[in-house]
Amino acid sequence: MSEPSRPLRKVLIANRGEIALRVICACKDLGVRTVAIYSEADRYSLHVRFADEAVCIGPAKSSLSYLNIPSVISAAEITNVDAIHPGYGFLSENSDFAEVCHASGIKFIGPRPDVTRMMGLKQIAREKMKEHGVPILPGSEGILESAEHGLEVAAQIGYPVILKASAGGGGRGMRIVREPSELPGAYAAAQSEAASAFSNGDIYCEKFIERPRHIEFQVIADEHGNVEVLGERECSIQRRHQKLIEEAPSAAVTPELRKRIATSLKKAFAAIGYSNAGTVEFLMDTDGSLYFIEVNARIQVEHPVTEFVTGVDLVKAQLRVAQGEKIAAIIGGPVKINGHAIECRINAENPVTFAPSPGRLTALNLPGGVGVRVDTAAYTDGVIPPYYDSLVAKLITHGRDRTEAIARMRRALDMFVIEGIHTSIPLHQQIMADDEFQRAAIDTHFITRFLERQKSGAAGQ
Ligand code: MV4
């Protein structure tokens, strides 16, 4: 093990729920002390219980607590932490927050603020990736200057095209344009929507892929210019831009393609000075080509499937990178993809209407056994508050191959008991039994087709 040049003594976790607990686990494994922050709605949460110290930072509403930068920084200063781990969501990709951390002498566990800011401008990220050999979709060079400029680019690349907000991401502020007559209206709408949602009306344009797979690559980079790529995840099973099921590896990525993309990403990420964990989103066209779309400069919800198939503890790796350690010491050998892993997100929601279903858990049984992992902050008599996202647990299974991972997922779902609220467990049981899912015949329209099949009574076996 390489000696950390800046060993972490104490870390504040600027998050809640399962990811706060996940970070506490990694800190405990490294012998790092932890500080939890919590809102008034989370006083009895497990992250508060299992951290060494805990500070209440405000009312239930996120904007007044987990998103309140002065409150988070005050808690960090009072408890004298060395660093802040932001988890995902909340302040995790807020480069202003990362800057305030550093100005207060606190290490932000993530990429440098200037790099995160650059990745947040999607057309700049696109340009940088292109510059270093990562494949991108045909589209505008930089932002569109006008609707006329959009018409010129679209005429060149061919319809349909998609207009995207430079400061958007995750599906917000996009417009599909199928013919020239639609473009000026779509451009004006996208621009005003982006201006009010992101205070930045910049729009760029790409060729629209009708039926893509959503595939993302895991990157981990140290602060000495070394980058490693830990394979990919298949994330096509989503509903309204909320992922439901993720797996690693993708059944659609060959070892040659994986190698080629990894090589290009190592070059690009070294060149932009990226450090810590990152995810690179791609779309795969029906011909099997992968195209870069955006970078997520944070640890992601679905990181456990990558941990299962690579054996790398990604959150511990984030902490070690922040201590100044080198990737070679952290990964300790060449990356090998071992078997197959699947994650089902268990949400507090009605499995038919998808309406949120917060409340008290009157009974809980977590499944276990070979190849099963549950990441959750849930406990019997605990409450899922209505203020935050509806994730109750992540159920992750591993097998020697996809078939074994599915069998273990079905067994684990059957033994997962949650009473008192509605959850997506029944939905996952039906998807696991679905023929298209079992054949890995998936793309971003899978859920739409699946729900249609359910309605028409043509269920799987
Ligand atoms: C696209 C696309 C088709 N063509 N870009 C949605 C989320 C954001 N990260 C990018 N998104 C898309 N970008 C081009 N050029 C289709 C989507 C898209 C999508 C992508 C991944 C997973 C689910 C999706 C659902 C609808 C649209």
Secondary structure (DSSP) of 59-104: -SSGGGTTT-HHHHHHHHHHTT-SEEE--SSTTTT-HHHHHHHHHT
Task: From the CA of 161, give the closest atom in ligand 1.
Answer: 15
Provide residues with CB under 6 Å of ligand 1. Answer: 137, 162, 169-171, 206-209, 212, 214, 238, 241, 281, 283, 293-294, 444
Query: Of all protein residues, whose CA lies closest to atom 11 belonging to ligand 1?
Result: 171
- pLDDT tens by residue, the chain, 461 residues: 567 889 999 999 999 999 999 999 999 999 999 999 999 999 999 999 999 999 999 999 999 999 999 999 999 999 999 999 999 999 999 999 999 999 999 999 999 999 999 999 999 999 999 999 999 999 999 999 999 999 999 999 999 999 999 998 767 779 999 999 999 999 999 999 999 999 999 999 999 999 999 999 999 999 999 999 999 999 999 999 999 999 999 999 999 999 999 999 999 999 999 999 999 999 999 999 999 999 999 999 999 999 999 999 999 999 999 999 999 999 999 999 999 999 999 999 998 889 999 999 999 999 999 999 999 999 999 999 999 999 999 999 999 999 999 999 999 999 999 999 999 999 999 999 999 999 999 999 999 999 999 988 764 44
Classify domain 10-109 at the CATH topology level.
Answer: Rossmann fold (3.40.50)
pLDDT score at 461: 42
Closest CA to 450 of 357, 295, 441, 29: 441
pLDDT score at 2: 61
Q: What is the C-alpha to C-alpha distance for residues 247 and 141, in angstroms, rounded to an integer? A: 33
Query: Of all protein residues, whose CA lies closest to atom 18 belonging to ligand 1?
Result: 171
Q: What share of the chain is helix, strand, coil (3-state, %, to 5)?
A: 35, 25, 35
pLDDT score at 460: 45
- Looking at domain 138-207, its CATH superfamily turns out to be ATP-grasp fold, A domain (3.30.1490.20)
pLDDT score at 173: 77
> Which residue among 214, 291, 300 is best mutated to probe the pocket of ligand 1, counting the most ligand atoms within 8 A of its Cβ?
214
pLDDT score at 458: 65
CA 209 to ligand 1 centroid distance, Å: 8
CA 25 to ligand 1 centroid distance, Å: 34
Q: What is the C-alpha to C-alpha distance for residues 347 and 303, in angstroms, rounded to an integer? A: 17
First to last CA, the chain: 50
CA 164 to ligand 1 centroid distance, Å: 10
Query: Of all protein residues, whose CA lies closest to atom 6 belonging to ligand 1?
Result: 171
Query: Of all protein residues, whose CA lies closest to atom 15 belonging to ligand 1?
Result: 208
Domains of the chain, residue spans: 10-109, 138-207, 213-459
Task: From the CA of 171, give the closest atom in ligand 1.
Answer: 7
Could you give the 3-state DSSP secondary structure of residue 431? Answer: helix
Q: What is the C-alpha to C-alpha distance for residues 381 and 419, in angstroms, rounded to an integer? A: 10
CA 109 to ligand 1 centroid distance, Å: 28
> Which residue among 172, 283, 447 is best mutated to probe the pocket of ligand 1, counting the most ligand atoms within 8 A of its Cβ?
283
In this prediction the pTM is 0.97
pLDDT score at 128: 97
CATH of 213-459, one of 3.90.980.10, 2.40.30.10, 3.10.580.10, 3.30.470.20: 3.30.470.20
Query: Of all protein residues, whose CA lies closest to atom 20 belonging to ligand 1?
Result: 214
Task: From the CA of 445, give the closest atom in ligand 1.
Answer: 25
Query: Of all protein residues, whose CA lies closest to atom 17 belonging to ligand 1?
Result: 171
Task: Just list the catalytic residues.
Answer: 298
Closest CA to 277 of 337, 317, 226, 332: 317
